[in-house]
Amino acid sequence: MALKISGGTAHDLPADLKKALLADRRALEKWEDITPLARNEWICWTVSVKTPEKRKEHIKRVCSELKEGMRRPCCWIGCIHRKDKKISPSVKWVLRRRSKSK
Q: What is the pLDDT of residue 95?
A: 66
What number of other Cβ atoms are within 10 A of residue 91's Cβ? 14
Using 70 as the pLDDT threshold, list the residues of the chain that sit under it.
1-2, 77, 80-85, 87, 91, 94-95, 98, 102
Nearest to residue 71, comparing CAs of 35, 21, 19? Answer: 35
Residue 4 lies in a domain: no
Residue 43 lies in a domain: yes
Tell me the C-alpha distance between 30 and 53, whole Å. Answer: 24
Residue 92 lies in a domain: yes
Residue 34 lies in a domain: yes
Tell me the C-alpha distance between 5 and 72, whole Å. Answer: 17
E runs forming strands in the chain = none
Contact 10, 83 (CB under 8 A): yes
The residue range of the domain holding 34 is 15-101
Residue 31 lies in a domain: yes
Residue 8 lies in a domain: no
pTM listed for this prediction:
0.79
Number of domains forming the structure of the chain:
1
